[in-house]
Structure formats: structure tokens, C-alpha cells
Homo-oligomer: A and B are copies of this chain.
Amino acid sequence: MSLNFCFLGAGNLATHLSKSLKEKGFNIIQVYSKTNKSAKTLADVLNSDYTTSPAKITINADVYFVALKDAVFDEVLSKINLENKLVVHCSGSLPVSVLSAYSDKTGVFYPLQTFSKQRDVDFHKIPVFVEANSEEIQNKLIQIAEKISDSVTVLESAKRKYLHIAAVFACNFVNHFYTISAEILKTKDIPFEVLQPLILETALKVQEIEPEKAQTGPAVRFDENIISDHLNEIKDLKNYAELYNSISKSIFEHHQNLK
């Protein structure tokens, strides 16, 4: 499969995905990003061309990976002649149909992971969800995805959106709770490091046990003294008492319903 790829976007996802594809022997011929620094940084790693101008995006690629914020899709895609090109976006929440205005060969390639530039990830372990507007394109995307991931699934747009919402809770909101806990510790000069083993064990548990069976803490025990004491302590810390209260209620109600 000798395919030429163009990456539209040079953020965390684009960086990890393009590097992984290149390692598997695919050619990345160009990177587009709005900012010169991002475009050049990724192009250097990939040994590819780069541009910051939508009008100068190559017409010689076979596959265009769109890893842009959805608000700027049209601004970029409308400037390229994508006739007969395979155009693929990487968004969890957008349907494949958002690309139909630009090409008749469209697809989705959604790796379910959180990417940071500072951390390498093993792409083989990342579940990739694909979708396309034809079976031919779908098979092509499966072939590409299977080169870099051990877990490739075809999933329609409506379901993929739920996957994305679940990921927002399980990753983005979870990370914000790590941030809040760091902030709470900081008020008493306690280093965040003391929480790291707890955070890791909490994530390791649900690799084996269903999360609702792994629930611990004052809310699931309905330990009212502790809860009201905690609420009182953090009452002046942003809206954290409000969050504490509504999540504790949610935990309690969930586990009441299980009984």
C-alpha cells in the first residue's frame, strides 16, 4: 500500500498519528498548520514539506487527514481541490457527512486516546474506530488502521459520538479532578506526588473490575459527617463545594439504585 498522506493540523493527535503512520512505512508528504512553528516542528519530525497557507496545500496526496478544530474545517478544506481524494477526519463527535461537501470519498479515523506532545504512546494499544461513505473506502481505512493498531472497529457516527462523550467523562473530566486535587493540596503545601499511587491504582482497578463495583469513599458509604465536614472546608474554594455536593449525590443515588 504505497499511499501519500497530507496532514491538515499539527496538534497532539496529528503529531502522534502521523508519526505512527510514518513508522509503518506510509509517506507523509505535507503538513498544514495555521502556525509556522507547529507546521515546521511536525514536518521536521516527518521529514516532509509543510505550509501555513490553505491555498498551498498539496494536490498530490492520496489521503488527507483532517485533524483540525471543527470550526475551521471549511476555511481550510474549501481552498483545496479534493476531487477523487480520500478525505478523513479524526473527530469523535462529527458525523462522516460533514466532509461530503469536499469529496465523494470520505471517512472517519478516530483513535480513542489522549495525546500530549510530551509523552510517547504505543499506538498498537489504542482502539481505532473507522467509518466511511462506501465499503471500498471503509476497507481501505481498516487496512491503514490495522497497520498501526491491534484494535480496529467500524462504528457509525451516532455511536461514535457516545464514545466521545464517555471519553470526556473518563479522561477530560477525570484529569480536571486531578487538577482540582492538586489545587486543594497546594492550599496546605502538600505536594501532588503523594496522590500519584492512588490515582494510578484507581485507574488500574477498572482494568479488572467494573467501575461501579470499585467505588469507595464517603459518598458510597453515605458518611454524612465526613461529607458535611468536607463541604464546609472547601466552601470558599471556587465552586468546588458545589461540585463535591452534586457528585456525592450522584454516587449515592447510583448505588442506592443498585441495591
Contact with B along A135-163 (1 / 0, CB 8 A): 00000000000000001010100110111
Q: Given the complex of chains A and B, what is the CA–CA distance between A16 and B125 in angstroms?
A: 32
What residues of chain A have their CB less than 8 Å away from a CB belonging to chain B? 12, 69-71, 93, 112-116, 118-119, 121, 125-127, 151, 153, 155, 158-159, 161-182, 184-185, 187-188, 190, 192, 194-212, 214-221, 223, 225-226, 229-230, 233-234, 238-239, 242-244, 246-247, 250-251, 253-254
Q: Which of B188, B195, B229 contacts A170 (CB 8 A)?
A: B195
Find out whether the CB atom of B116 lies under 8 angstroms from the CB atom of A175: no
Q: Given the complex of chains A and B, what is the CA–CA distance between A97 and B182 in angstroms?
A: 27
Find out whether the CB atom of A201 lies under 8 angstroms from the CB atom of B113: yes
Find out whether the CB atom of B250 lies under 8 angstroms from the CB atom of A216: no
* Max chain B Cβ within 10 angstroms of own Cβ: one of A12, A175, A197, A199: A175
Given contacts A69-B221, A70-B223, A225-B71, contact A202 B205 (CB under 8 A): no
Find out whether the CB atom of B198 lies under 8 angstroms from the CB atom of A184: no
Find out whether the CB atom of A177 lies under 8 angstroms from the CB atom of B185: no
Given contacts A177-B173, A179-B215, A199-B203, contact A243 B239 (CB under 8 A): no
Q: Given the complex of chains A and B, what is the CA–CA distance between A211 and B197 in angstroms?
A: 14
Given contacts A164-B230, A165-B230, A218-B168, contact A211 B198 (CB under 8 A): no
**In whole Å, how far is A236's beta carbon from the nearest beta carbon of chain B?**
13
Find out whether the CB atom of A234 lies under 8 angstroms from the CB atom of B165: yes
- Taking CB atoms, residues of chain B closer than 8 Å to A182 are 166, 210-212
Find out whether the CB atom of A219 lies under 8 angstroms from the CB atom of B174: no
Q: Given the complex of chains A and B, what is the CA–CA distance between A116 and B159 in angstroms?
A: 33
- Taking CB atoms, residues of chain B closer than 8 Å to A194 are 112, 127, 151, 153, 163
- The chain B residue sitting closest to A195, CB to CB, is B170
- The chain B residue sitting closest to A187, CB to CB, is B162
* Max chain B Cβ within 10 angstroms of own Cβ: one of A12, A209, A211, A217: A211
